[in-house]
Structure 1
Amino acid sequence: MIFKNIRVKNFKGLKDISTPLSDFTCVIGENNAGKSTFIQALLLFIKGTKLTQDDFFDKDKDIFIFVEIDNIKKKDLELIDEIHRDKLEKNIDFDEKGIGSFRLVRRYSHVDYSSKLKNIKFVPKEKKFEKKEIDNLLKSKKGDELISTLKSNYAEIDDEKIDKLKTQKAAKELIEEYINTLSKDDLIEKDVPLDTGIDNSIKALFPEPIYIPAVKDLSDDMKTKDSASFGKLLNILLDVIEDDLNEAKSVFEVLRTNLNKIYDDNGKLISDKRLEKVKRIENTIQRNLNQTFKNVSIDLEVPPPEIKTILSTANIIANDGVKGPIQNKGDGFKRAITFSILRSYVELSHSEGWQKDKEQFKQKDRFLFLFEEPELYLHPKAQNILFEALSKISANHQMIVSTHSPLFFSSDATKTFIKIKKVDDGEKSYSKTLHIDLTEISNKDKFQLISFETSNHAFFSDRVVLVEGDTELIVLPHISKIIDSRYDFKNNSINLVKINGKGSFKRYKDFFKKFDLDIYFVADLDVLLDGFEKLEPSDEIKKVHSELLSIVNEKVVSIDVKPLPTRKYKDKLLKNNSKSIYEQIKDARSDDDKEKVLELLDELFSFEQKKIELVILQDKENEFNDVVLKKRELLKLLRKENIFVLESGDIESYYPEGIVSDDKPTQGQKYCEIIDSKEKLFEEYSKIDEQKIEFELIFEQIFA
């Protein structure tokens, strides 16, 4: 079974949020956005721990935690007490394959802060069909009085069926039969009480939660009691050896030597006759731990006397210069131990020699892992290793993690992303959630778009500015800070993202839109000639764009442009579409279609035409006032769509004379050295609109 959907109302900062869950759910967002509260809500749904007044967003309303449970199999119901099993099964909707689902809500009273589990069902709108009303109405009724009562209160039910009734039980079954025929228009969704006793019994159906919070002091959670997360983690591994100890139950001294190294009073090792599997568990944890803490040794201690309690009281003694239990060690060390155990579970459960014991990894034990910031204290390589381990564990146990690490971003392993943002409506801030579905993203985009850098921007930005190349990453932040010290990309949740050419604009835009980001685009002027449609312009913008190109085309014949260097011609003619045009020319020649040949030749060398058109659009000689006016009209409309087309061409067109280098990044750095003040910046560029230079208009809008 799996928790498929969750809705939380009125719990701390979660005023009302709803989102799907999956095998591996990754919760992202800034600090204090509500990630921990979201994970705690799942824990509360299972545990029902009593709350305080401070846990209520609105102290005059109840807290609701709705969960849809899916993929329930008939075999799962064997975990429920037999006396409640049949009653519970009636509340579960099973499909033709025998897979069931149902919805529950834990409702916390704002009066006494206690909770109850309830079932979410579609029930009749009319109050007379409620169970309580039916019970009161039929109470003590029998014979003719029972039939008369039914006919007068439930005229919708066939009289002939009512006349055949003998008992109250049969009457209630007849009413229930009628309720099942009602249409959706006659029903309302409502939480209804579970039958007596099921509230507690149903918990056996839930997975066992293992909660590891992102706190500074993990001591309470690291205790090795069976009720603590650390003990549960260790037991996942140790359960596999329980049957190997059956013969030793009556001889605890033998049991002690089977499980522990034997030391004398001075701490000197006397013997090590432990089971090989115990050694292997310890050695595997040791080896994985040493990838993070190289000079540390550990001992696994399992105290007697009872086998039942032995595994649940297991402890790990660490020797990092001072020998002692791990709960006395640092936070980083404790989390490293925790995740070393998880990796060991993955490694050992799939290793040769342990496969025969696979069933002993207690398949009936189902865990819900709730990890806050598992990357804490781990360097990037260790984070990658941990992410792989958690991915494998999620194949058998549902995994929900909150994280600040883009290394946990994967469209394959992580099925669901939930972004939590804080909203301030002027009265009281609250959280909202965004479900991010990347299952439909193409393999090409998985490879090209999902990277550490891009994921980092998607996780932690409020806005992204898409740019075409490296130079913009250097020059634009420099210009913005010169214009206004507040326009500092580093001190705002605004990031520049290089997309390697305007052709990728739509792909990156669609990707970042999934994360509910404001998206801006700084483009070279030639986007008006090539790739303009990828900007997804409005009809008004298309109209002005068409008018501009018409004016430009009228000027083309009057311009004498120097031919491109030979190397440039070669680059242009090696493009894939040029090869296609060349093949079409050969076909046209074989058909002796001279008109078609000339048409295709014009198309083949269309880049020359575009070069002339770009010269006119740039208008460096101030010859075409009508072009400038229409161009600025178009650029103003584009700015309203958060698209900033550089009026003068590309970013290099704004450099003063004397900047020469073999590579663009070096040119950009030289520009930053020369234009080092607001005065120099404003000397370079003329005001174009609203008596402001072009870059003022751009950055005022981005940082608004």
Structure 2
Amino acid sequence: MRLYNLKIKNYKSINELSVNLGTLTAIVGKNNFGKSTTLDALQCFYGLREISQADFHLGTKKDIEIQVTFKDVEESDLERYIGYKAMHAKVTTKIKGKPDDEEFLNKQFEKLKEEKEKKINEAIEKYHINLENECTFKIIFSYSLDGKATYKIEGKLIPKNEIFKFVPPVKVISAIRTPDKETTAGTKSNLKELIALLQSENDENDYIDLPEIEGKLTYEEIKSLISQKEEDKCVHLSKDLTKHFQNAINTDSLSVKVKIDESFKFDFKYKTVLEDSEVGREVDILSCGTGLQSMMILSILQTYIKLKKDDNFILLIEEPEVYLHPSLQRKMINTLLKISEKNQTILTTHSPIIISKIDKGNIHCVNKVKGVTHLVDPTVNNIVDELGIQISDILNKQAVVFVEGKDDYLLFTNLIDKIAIEKGLGLDFTEKNIDIIQTDGFDKMSFYANAQILHKDFVKAPYWIIADSDGEVVEDRTESFIKRGAINGIKLENEQLRILSEYAIESYFLDSQLLSEFLQLSEVDLQYMCTLYFESYEHALNKVRDSSHSMNKETFRKNYKPKIMFSNLDKPYPAIQHILRTYYVEDELFMATRERVVEKWNEIDNPIEKFVNKFDCSQLRGSKMKEVINHLEEVVDKISGSHIV
């Protein structure tokens, strides 16, 4: 399930406030306007923050009320409620004593299945849950002046412990990274909570092989086995953390060590230290500056993604940019975007870099009038004013080109430079003349904010938008851009839009002759693979455009993006195989050729740059890349014709 709406009444500066929440939501506003109050209220709901009399809005005697609405309840949520992991672990332990007794094994798992179904049905009946349809689940938390706290679902009182068995837990990273509030043990803290999150295991392989001995293990022997298991986990975790941390601080003199802080008491307490190889000593991270601690938090979050853990929690993070250099802020928001794919994330921020990567519809702007916090329309102008974005932030060159993603940026930059050299315009044409701005999606705030600034009367710089078709008809996509721009106060002209006919830029690399020369693979096999991909793509696209067929745009965009020919899309191998066999063809040559392409392509550092530089313009014009080159040539001609070089 995910948190869909948060409604707050009579809490601190909020009289009444309601916000809808997406997978990644940002709350912006000036200092002391109530950004953090929204996250505080959610922590009050979860019992993670105490409420005092001073928290009642302007001295009101009315109850503080925090209403949370969850949506999309799934069976995994019900499994969490009934404690299914513990039930499963109990059965797994029991059957290890009789590994060869198939009848006993089947009987135990059948009993587990029956018990699970019984408990889930009881929960469904108790909370009126309908798993077949979109299920909305509303909980109201009230707190009175006399300190009485209650939780209600549909007017019925529900015990607190029942509530928190059901809803996803929250993890909190506060804006104040203060060493004296951080600890590796008994109290909750940013670093301690996050390290514990990494140490937790959630798969059936987290067990200890007991030695084959006669008789029973002593208590001390059990302690030793478990302690060794934890120490091994600490070693592996330290390696991953060190890699990300050294990348963040740009030095290899400091390494991270996660250590068991105290003797074993069936509840491990961890200590995180930095080892300085230059002076040969260890320093507790909590005694280091707040900047290093923020970089450690970034490293922990990056490591969490690498571990591909499947914990279900909501992440609340205040000012993720605090104490981070702009380059690390970019890493932070990219990390949070990745985390939010599985774990809903809600943040507050003042950073244009952070906000630029978030969908405009998931940004809420707060203001305060006469001591009362309220929402203001998150228009582009309001966000630009709030974040203090200025012309100098984007206009470092004489022209601007908006592109969608990192790969688009790399391709267009290298092609423009190649075209400029062919035209005798010299080296590094892009660096000297063009700001290519990566928006990470044209629904992101960065595009609208930057475009708004470029529309100021005193800004005369030309700019273009180059976008792929996303499976739409070029004319329809063009019209959509113009309409969305108008809604956001931006007048876009047809001549500023360069809409490519292909779904995404990876399509332009699917040329058997060029790929064969670049990757040293069979041109015949590559021709077969490319033909089958484009045939499957066109067939699916026609289904989407034909209303009589059941395939929707979401299914099409999820499974037919051309990047699947060059990458496993961070999916497990079986998942990729399932997509290919379900949506393409069960053809061994197709599958094997694609696998070789993925392997070879990903062995190359900067494959896009090297692909473009391997061929001259005439060779590229002889491929599907001709369309891209033609658009970029018009841009180069316009800029060079304006005597900008």
Q: How does 1:26-37 map to 2 (within 5 A)?
A: 26-37=26-37
Q: Deviations over 1:316-372 (max 9, x none)?
A: 1223456232211111111211221111121233xxxxxxxxxxx4x4x42211011
Q: Does 2:354 match 1:408?
A: yes
SS at match of 1:76: helix
SS at match of 1:47: coil
Q: Deviations over 1:273-329 (max 9, x none)?
A: xx3x5433211101111123323223221246447412xx12112234562322111
Q: Deviations over 1:441-480 (max 9, x none)?
A: xx9896799759995797799x9683366459xxxxxxxx
Q: Does 2:316 match 1:370?
A: yes
Among 333, 336, 339, which residue is 1:393 paired with?
A: 339
- Classify 1:73/1:429 alpha carbon distance in 2 versus 1 (closer, same or farther; 3 Å): closer
CA contact (8 A) 1:34 1:420 kept: no
- The residue type paired with residue 291 of structure 1 is N
SS at match of 1:467: coil
- The residue type paired with residue 33 of structure 1 is F
Q: How does 1:530-569 map to 2 (within 5 A)?
A: none
Question: Which residue of 2 is the match for residue 68 of structure 1?
Answer: 69
- Classify 1:20/1:206 alpha carbon distance in 2 versus 1 (closer, same or farther; 3 Å): same
SS at match of 1:72: coil
Q: How does 1:511-590 map to 2 (within 5 A)?
A: 511=485
Taking the aligned partners of 1:420 and 1:218, their CA distance within structure 2 comes to 31
Q: Does 2:282 match 1:323?
A: yes
- The residue type paired with residue 232 of structure 1 is E
Q: Deviations over 1:170-203 (max 9, x none)?
A: xxxxxxxxxxxxxxxxxxxxxx2325xx333111
Q: Does 2:54 match 1:54?
A: yes
Question: Which residue of 1 is the match for residue 146 of structure 2?
Answer: 112
Question: Which residue of 2 is the match for residue 336 of structure 1?
Answer: 295
Shift of 1:76: 2.4
Q: Does 2:421 match 1:421?
A: no
Taking the aligned partners of 1:423 and 1:222, their CA distance within structure 2 comes to 35
Among 143, 162, 168, which residue is 1:207 paired with?
A: 168
Shift of 1:68: 0.7
Q: Deviations over 1:542-593 (max 9, x none)?
A: xxxxxxxxxxxxxxxxxxxxxxxxxxxxxxxxxxxxxxxxxxxxxxxxxxxx
Q: Does 2:467 match 1:466?
A: no
Question: Which residue of 2 is the match for residue 576 of structure 1?
Answer: none
Taking the aligned partners of 2:230 and 2:13, their CA distance within structure 1 comes to 48
SS at match of 2:257: strand
Question: Which residue of 2 is the match for residue 302 of structure 1?
Answer: 260
Taking the aligned partners of 1:113 and 1:230, their CA distance within structure 2 comes to 31
- Classify 1:13/1:318 alpha carbon distance in 2 versus 1 (closer, same or farther; 3 Å): same
Shift of 1:100: 2.9
**Percent of pairs identical after alignment?**
21
Among 282, 289, 293, which residue is 2:245 paired with?
A: 289
Taking the aligned partners of 1:208 and 1:467, their CA distance within structure 2 comes to 45
Shift of 1:87: 7.3
- Classify 1:290/1:233 alpha carbon distance in 2 versus 1 (closer, same or farther; 3 Å): same
Question: Which residue of 1 is the match for residue 408 of structure 2?
Answer: none
- The residue type paired with residue 149 of structure 2 is S
Tell me which moved more, 71-80 or 284-293.
71-80
CA contact (8 A) 1:14 1:430 kept: yes
Taking the aligned partners of 2:445 and 2:183, their CA distance within structure 1 comes to 32
Taking the aligned partners of 1:414 and 1:254, their CA distance within structure 2 comes to 48
Question: Which residue of 2 is the match for residue 97 of structure 1?
Answer: 132
CA contact (8 A) 2:317 2:348 kept: yes
Taking the aligned partners of 1:395 and 1:253, their CA distance within structure 2 comes to 38
- Classify 1:281/1:435 alpha carbon distance in 2 versus 1 (closer, same or farther; 3 Å): same
Q: How does 1:421-440 map to 2 (within 5 A)?
A: 421-424=366-369, 427-434=370-377
CA contact (8 A) 2:15 2:372 kept: no
Taking the aligned partners of 2:186 and 2:48, their CA distance within structure 1 comes to 20
Taking the aligned partners of 1:93 and 1:216, their CA distance within structure 2 comes to 42
Shift of 1:48: 6.4
Tell me which moved more, 54-63 or 32-41.
54-63
Taking the aligned partners of 1:40 and 1:376, their CA distance within structure 2 comes to 18
SS at match of 1:432: strand
CA contact (8 A) 1:23 1:394 kept: yes
- Classify 1:299/1:49 alpha carbon distance in 2 versus 1 (closer, same or farther; 3 Å): closer
Question: Which residue of 1 is the match for residue 636 of structure 2?
Answer: none
Shift of 1:409: 3.8
Question: Which residue of 1 is the match for residue 20 of structure 2?
Answer: 20
Q: How does 1:161-176 map to 2 (within 5 A)?
A: none
Question: Which residue of 2 is the match for residue 220 of structure 1?
Answer: 181
CA contact (8 A) 1:300 1:314 kept: yes
Q: Does 2:188 match 1:232?
A: no
CA contact (8 A) 1:29 1:460 kept: no
Taking the aligned partners of 2:445 and 2:294, their CA distance within structure 1 comes to 25
CA contact (8 A) 1:465 1:520 kept: no
Taking the aligned partners of 1:449 and 1:333, their CA distance within structure 2 comes to 29
Taking the aligned partners of 2:44 and 2:234, their CA distance within structure 1 comes to 35
- The residue type paired with residue 191 of structure 2 is F
Taking the aligned partners of 1:224 and 1:76, their CA distance within structure 2 comes to 29
Q: Deviations over 1:423-456 (max 9, x none)?
A: 32xx43423254689xxxxx98967997599957
SS at match of 1:33: coil
TM-score where L is the length of structure 1: 0.47
Q: Deviations over 1:92-135 (max 9, x none)?
A: 454462653211111121x224421122x4xxxxxxxxxxxxxx
- Classify 1:460/1:29 alpha carbon distance in 2 versus 1 (closer, same or farther; 3 Å): farther
Taking the aligned partners of 2:644 and 2:11, their CA distance within structure 1 comes to 50
Instruction: Give the structure with higher Rg (CA).
Output: 1
Question: Which residue of 2 is the match for residue 693 of structure 1?
Answer: none
Aligned residues: 386
SS at match of 1:118: strand
Shift of 1:227: 4.3
Shift of 1:225: 4.0
Unaligned runs of 5+ in 1: 122-191, 261-274, 350-360, 438-442, 473-497, 532-661, 667-704
Shift of 1:510: 5.6
- Classify 1:286/1:88 alpha carbon distance in 2 versus 1 (closer, same or farther; 3 Å): same
Q: Deviations over 1:392-416 (max 9, x none)?
A: 22222111111222333466x7585
Shift of 1:213: 1.0
Shift of 1:234: 1.4
- Computed over aligned residues only, the root mean square deviation of the Cα atoms, in angstroms, reads 4.5
Question: Which residue of 2 is the match for residue 43 of structure 1?
Answer: 43
Shift of 1:67: 1.0
Shift of 1:69: 0.8
